[in-house]
DNA sequence: CATGTTTTGTACTAGATCGCATAAAAAGCT
DNA sequence: AGCTTTTTATGCGATCTAGTACAAAACATG
């Protein structure tokens, strides 16, 4: 938001003691901790261990536990949207695009360094969403966006003749999103990546065939 | 398991002080507590408050926190399977059956007394599944069974001519399960019941039409 | 009515968890 | 070098959490 995603040499050096840790990577490490054990299952000490920062530094940098989680959640959505945008935007047939989208999702779901963690949102935020309106609305907004992306792609496919005229883009978009949800769930439930790739392939065949 | 689901008058009266709470309803109350706030987010004191039992009684009746949760999880699967079996077994066309199945699922997902809680498994067990092999296998086994139920129903539909010969029952079963998953997720993310009913209707139309 | 049996209710211990207060460290500025 | 600023690091206190020990209560049996 405010500072150096790309280093900006016009910035003056800050006044006091320099930070020992990069905020971006620290947030990502905190997110990984939440990703493994969920919001309630992760203590600030866990996050402290994951980032190498001590608790007062964590608080100064990101706020309390809830704020850290919300930042991690927003960060995850950005990561995911970026990956999906790339998958949606690389051209090709509808089937090719859908396959790329699901591959991109699986790459994230299987990105855990030592375990399979699935989707951060489905795997951790959904649990909190029931009792936390802020998290709930962040989650819902992300889903809306993905639904819209799918729907736009199906409309395009129908216009181009890649999909038959009678097809309902909104209905297909919901099915496409549902497929992403089931991938997220099943990844965390232990289904292997190759199995999920087959699942995605079958779905693409049904939708496009 | 061992005793009175239906009261069994051949049982002798137990020897000591009678239980103040019915184990079955207590377990259901404990499950509702977990359902709201997840495994880690629910303390034994919360469960104690929900059931009216104090902690030593809880432990004597159900074991430690993890055992209580596992019992609640198995109990939920039983409840859900019973509802699905009814929905699958009531005859009618494929479209009618699927609609009944999703209605049954939504009835459970919206059964919370004061909030919408979605699916117990998707909303709470999936979070734990990543780091808990016992929970993971219980979850995975339930999914397998539902997948199989759907597949059997699609095979039947194809045999009866309710579905075109080229249809792939396994692929459709995965789509049908995915739809249930997305209902579970979206319910907890705040989507209204009527909206989800429409979603299910669209999916049924795509699958059957 | 005394005894044994089982459950309930209270209370204590140990450890986890979080927030915060305070000191020490590391830099820039004059 | 001394002062200011910002971060890091340590540690304390209050609360939460889980497990368990122990006494009281409630019942059946003889």
Shortest CA–C1' contact from A42: which nucleotide?
A: C17
**Residue A150 CB partners (closer than 8 Å, separation 6+):** A172, A173, A176, A177
Rounded to 5°, the CA angle B67-A115-B138 comes to 35
Residue with tokens 């039409």: B209
3-class DSSP state of B189: coil
- Measured CA to CA, the distance from residue B175 to residue B147 in angstroms comes to 9
Tokens of B166: 């080229």
Shortest CA–C1' contact from B59: which nucleotide?
A: D19
- Per-residue model confidence as pLDDT tens digits over A9-55: 445 678 888 898 999 999 999 999 999 999 999 999 999 999 999 99
Is the CATH number of domain B71-208 1.10.357.10? Answer: yes
Contact A178 B178 (CB under 8 A): yes
Tokens of B181: 């998953």
Contacts of A119 in chain B (CB under 8 A): none
Contacts of A37 in chain B (CB under 8 A): 40, 130-131
Q: Which nucleotides of D are covered by protein (CB under 7 A)?
A: 4-11, 16-22, 24-29
Tokens of A191: 């289904």
Rounded to 5°, the CA angle B38-B44-B45 comes to 110
- How far is CA A58 from each of CA A16, A45, A167, rounded to the nearest angstrom? 17, 10, 51
φ/ψ bin of B168: left (φ > 0), alpha (ψ from -120 to 50), beta (otherwise): beta
Contact B130 A139 (CB under 8 A): no
Chain B residue at shortest CA distance from A188: B130
| From the candidate CATH numbers 3.90.800.10, 3.40.190.10, 1.10.10.10, 1.10.357.10, the one assigned to the domain spanning A73-208 | 1.10.357.10
Contact B130 A117 (CB under 8 A): yes
Closest residue to C17 by CA to C1' distance?
A43
Tokens of A180: 């992403």
% of chain A at pLDDT higher than 90:
89
The predicted pLDDT at position B5 comes to 39
Angle at which helix B169-188 crosses helix B133-160, to 10 degrees, equals 130
Per domain, the residue ranges of chain A are 73-208
- How far is CA A91 from each of CA A28, A34, A179, rounded to the nearest angstrom? 30, 35, 21
The predicted pLDDT at position A164 comes to 92
**Which letter does DSSP use for residue A124 in this model?**
I
Of the candidates A126, A182, A206, the beta carbon closest to that of B123 is on: A126
- Per-residue model confidence as pLDDT tens digits over B15-71: 888 899 999 999 999 999 999 999 999 999 999 999 999 999 999 999 999 999 999
3-class DSSP state of B139: helix
- Measured CA to CA, the distance from residue B207 to residue B195 in angstroms comes to 19
Q: Nearest-CA distance from A8 to chain B in Å?
A: 39
Angle at which helix A169-188 crosses helix B193-208, to 10 degrees, equals 100
Contact B126 A128 (CB under 8 A): no
Low-confidence ranges of chain B (pLDDT < 50): 1-10
Chain B residue at shortest CA distance from A139: B189
Q: How distant is C1' of D5 from CA of A158, in Å?
A: 61
Q: Given a cut of 80, is residue A7 above it in pLDDT?
A: no
Interface test with A, best of B66, B151, B185 (most A CBs within 10 A): B185
Closest residue to D20 by CA to C1' distance?
B56
Contact B202 A170 (CB under 8 A): yes
Interface test with A, best of B95, B170, B181, B205 (most A CBs within 10 A): B181
CA A18 from chain centre, in angstroms, equals 31
- Measured CA to CA, the distance from residue B185 to residue A14 in angstroms comes to 45
Tell me how far apart the terminal alpha carbons of chain B are, to the nearest angstrom.
44
Ordered alpha helix ranges (H), B38-64: 44-51, 55-62
CA A85 from chain centre, in angstroms, equals 12
- Per-residue model confidence as pLDDT tens digits over A140-167: 999 999 999 999 999 999 999 999 999 9
Closest residue to D28 by CA to C1' distance?
B15
Q: Given a cut of 60, is residue A70 above it in pLDDT?
A: yes
- Per-residue model confidence as pLDDT tens digits over A99-111: 999 999 999 999 9
């Amino acid at each position: 938001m405010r500072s150096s995603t790309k280093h900006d040499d016009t910035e003056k050096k800050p006044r006091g003691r320099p930070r020992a840790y990069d905020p971006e990577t620290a947030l990502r490490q905190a997110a990984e901790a939440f990703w493994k054990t969920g919001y309630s299952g992760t203590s600030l000490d866990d996050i402290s261990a994951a980032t190498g920062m001590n608790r007062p530094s964590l608080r100064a940098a990101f706020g309390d536990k809830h704020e850290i989680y919300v930042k991690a959640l927003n960060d995850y959505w950005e990561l995911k949207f970026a990956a999906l945008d790339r998958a949606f935007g690389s051209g090709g047939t509808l089937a090719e695009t859908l396959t790329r989208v699901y591959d991109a999702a699986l790459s994230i779901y299987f990105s855990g360094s030592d375990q399979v963690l699935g989707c951060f949102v489905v795997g951790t935020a959904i649990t909190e969403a029931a009792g936390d309106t802020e998290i709930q609305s962040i989650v819902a907004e992300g889903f809306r966006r993905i639904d819209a992306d799918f729907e736009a792609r199906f409309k395009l496919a129908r216009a181009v003749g890649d999909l038959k005229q009678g097809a309902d883009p909104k209905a297909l978009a919901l099915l496409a999103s549902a497929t992403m949800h089931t991938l997220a769930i099943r990844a965390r439930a232990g289904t292997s990546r190759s199995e999920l790739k087959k699942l995605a392939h079958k779905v693409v065949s049904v939708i496009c065939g």
